[in-house]
Chain A
Amino acid sequence: AQKVTQAQTEISVVEKEDVTLDCVYETRDTTYYLFWYKQPPSGELVFLIRRNSFDEQNEISGRYSWNFQKSTSSFNFTITASQVVDSAVYFCALSEAQDTDKLIFGTGTRLQVFP
């Protein structure tokens, strides 16, 4: 069965620290898609990245980077030089080709960045 695990419920860091948010997924599908979303205190869900199962290349976007490793079924998210505005709940999610359109979310990691 499909499942997304975010073992870190809450992380606190001081500004300018680097922080990594872990995501481990389970799926029997060979074709699947992984996502990260950010939910700031205002409540809206902001899309950050999508990765398909055939593309293990790591990605960097500004201070954000993602490490996708199929061997460990992980899709970790690193924020470099964190800022107060990064404070939010971050969700990792999975969708499978066999079960179209359904996003399975992890439980989220609350990141607090203190000045």
Chain B
Amino acid sequence: SAVISQKPSRDICQRGTSLTIQCQVDSQVTMMFWYRQQPGQSLTLIATANQGSEATYESGFVIDKFPISRPNLTFSTLTVSNMSPEDSSIYLCSVGASGRVSSTDTQYFGPGTRLTVL
């Protein structure tokens, strides 16, 4: 499986500011995924990031709030904009096992970024 790293591992931010989370993979992958896990909750897919095209957002998530970049096949960023305490969550990126990512692929996850908004 791919080795996935995320930066920062955790952060405490003030309301109204923005934070950019980085996700780095040790191999080229077609698609990367961003998830949110609110405290004590399950994981919810925010968006799918395909290199060279706009990210695809799930219902309830918008680009203005969670802009995503995918400049190459090994890297992606997720920005949490104009943060409020409700954005306090763990944010995780994932990639498919094969690098191509299809519905048959297993997704492997990064270590997550634990965000607290005051």
Contact = CB atoms under 8 A, between A and B. Distances in A.
A47 B103 contact: no
A43 B103 contact: no
Interface of A: 33, 35, 37, 42-47, 50, 52, 91, 95-97, 99-103, 105-108
Main secondary structure of the interface of A (DSSP, over half): strand
A29 to B, nearest CB: 10
12 contacts: A43-B90, A45-B109, A45-B112, A52-B104, A91-B43, A96-B103, A97-B104, A101-B33, A101-B103, A103-B33, A105-B44, A107-B41
Interface of B: 1, 31, 33, 41-45, 48, 58, 90, 92, 94, 96, 101-112, 114
A91 B41 CA distance: 11
Contacts of B111: 42-44
Contact of B106 (A44, A47, A97, A107): A47
Contacts of B45: 102-103
B48 A105 contact: no
Contacts of A107: 41-42
A35 B106 contact: yes
Contacts of B43: 45, 91, 103, 105
A102 B42 CA distance: 14
A100 B92 contact: no
Contacts of A44: 109-112
**Most interface-central of A42, A99, A103, A108 (chain B CB within 10 A):** A103
A45 to B, nearest CB: 4
